[in-house]
Structure 1
Amino acid sequence: MKRIFRSFSKVFPKSFLEDTHEMLRFADFELDAEIWLGEIVTVALCISAVMVWLSTYSSSSFFILSAVIVPIIYLVGAYSIPFFIAEDRAEKVEKILPNALQLMSSNILAGMTPFQAMKLASRDEFGALKNELDRVTAKSLGTESFSTSVKEIAKHIRLPALERSLKLFVRSIESGGHLSKVLDETAKDINDSLMLKQEMISNVRSYAVLIVLTVMIGAPLLFNVSILFTERLNTLKQGFSTSSAEDFGMDLLVSESFDPNFLIGISAVIVAVTSTIASLLIGVIVSGKEKYGIRYAFVMVPTSLIIFYGVRIIVHTLV
Structure 2
Amino acid sequence: MNFNKLYLKISMLAPKKTVKLISTLMEQGGFTLNPRILIGFTIYLTFFATLTVIFTTQLLSLNPTLQTLLPLATLIAIPGLLYTLIIITADNRARKIEELLPDALDIIAANIKAGMTLENAIWLAARPEFGPLRDEIKKVSADTFGGKPIEDNLQKMSERIRSETTKRAIQLIQEGIRLGGEMSKLLEEVAEDTRNTQMLKKQISTSTITYTLFIIFAATIMAPLLFSISTTYSQLSKNLAGMANTRNTGNLIQNIPFLGNNTTNTINPNDIFNFALESIIITNLLAGFIIGQIKYGKATRGLPYTPILLITSITIFLVAQQTLQILIQNLIK
Relative to the length of structure 1, the TM-score reads 0.89
Of 23-32 and 46-55, more deviation after overlay is shown by: 23-32
Q: Evaluate the alpha carbon distance shift between residue 244 and residue 33 of structure 1 in structure 2; reply closer, same or farther with a 3 A threshold.
A: closer
Q: Where do 5+ consecutive residues of structure 1 fail to align?
A: none
The correspondence of residues 145-156 of structure 1 with structure 2, limited to 5 A, is: 145-156=149-160
What secondary structure is seen at the aligned counterpart in 2 of 1:235? helix
Is 1:67 the counterpart of 2:99? The answer is no
d(CA) in 1 for partners of 2:14, 2:99: 35
d(CA) in 1 for partners of 2:210, 2:220: 15
**Map of 1:264 onto structure 2:** 273
What do residues 227-264 of structure 1 show as CA deviations (whole Å, max 9, x unaligned)?
22222223333344699736996484313243222222
Structure 2 letter corresponding to 1:253: G
What do residues 57-98 of structure 1 show as CA deviations (whole Å, max 9, x unaligned)?
212244653222133112111111121111111111111111
Structure 2 letter corresponding to 1:44: T
Structure 2 letter corresponding to 1:29: F
Of 216-225 and 286-295, more deviation after overlay is shown by: 286-295
The correspondence of residues 68-87 of structure 1 with structure 2, limited to 5 A, is: 68-87=72-91
**Map of 1:20 onto structure 2:** 22
Is 1:245 the counterpart of 2:250? The answer is yes
Is 1:99 the counterpart of 2:103? The answer is yes
What secondary structure is seen at the aligned counterpart in 1 of 2:208? helix
Are the aligned partners of 1:240 and 1:253 in contact in 2 as well (CA < 8 Å)?
no
d(CA) in 1 for partners of 2:157, 2:249: 81
**Map of 1:300 onto structure 2:** 309
What do residues 16-60 of structure 1 show as CA deviations (whole Å, max 9, x unaligned)?
322222111111223333332221111011111111121232122
2:139 to 128, 135, 140: 135
Relative to the length of structure 2, the TM-score reads 0.86
What secondary structure is seen at the aligned counterpart in 1 of 2:32? coil
Structure 1 letter corresponding to 2:131: G
**Map of 1:287 onto structure 2:** 296
d(CA) in 2 for partners of 1:183, 1:248: 78
What secondary structure is seen at the aligned counterpart in 2 of 1:254? coil
Are the aligned partners of 1:100 and 1:121 in contact in 2 as well (CA < 8 Å)?
yes
Q: Evaluate the alpha carbon distance shift between residue 283 and residue 316 of structure 1 in structure 2; reply closer, same or farther with a 3 A threshold.
A: same
Structure 2 letter corresponding to 1:113: T
**Map of 2:284 onto structure 1:** 275
Structure 2 letter corresponding to 1:280: F
**Map of 1:164 onto structure 2:** 168
d(CA) in 2 for partners of 1:248, 1:155: 67
What secondary structure is seen at the aligned counterpart in 2 of 1:253? coil
Structure 1 letter corresponding to 2:21: D
**Map of 2:318 onto structure 1:** 309
**Map of 1:203 onto structure 2:** 207
Structure 1 letter corresponding to 2:250: A
Is 1:236 the counterpart of 2:243? The answer is no
Ranges of 4+ aligned residues in structure 1 off by more than 4 Å:
1-4, 241-244, 246-249
Computed over aligned residues only, the root mean square deviation of the Cα atoms, in angstroms, reads 2.6
Q: Report the Cα offset of residue 134 of structure 1.
A: 1.5
**Map of 2:261 onto structure 1:** 254
Are the aligned partners of 1:51 and 1:64 in contact in 2 as well (CA < 8 Å)?
no
d(CA) in 2 for partners of 1:298, 1:270: 15
Of 160-169 and 104-113, more deviation after overlay is shown by: 160-169
Which structure has more relative contact order (CA 8 Å, sep 6+)? It is: 2
Q: Evaluate the alpha carbon distance shift between residue 71 and residue 145 of structure 1 in structure 2; reply closer, same or farther with a 3 A threshold.
A: same
d(CA) in 2 for partners of 1:289, 1:10: 31
Are the aligned partners of 2:254 and 2:261 in contact in 1 as well (CA < 8 Å)?
no
**Map of 2:57 onto structure 1:** 55
d(CA) in 1 for partners of 2:170, 2:239: 72
1:45 to 34, 47, 51: 47
d(CA) in 2 for partners of 1:317, 1:86: 47
d(CA) in 2 for partners of 1:36, 1:29: 11
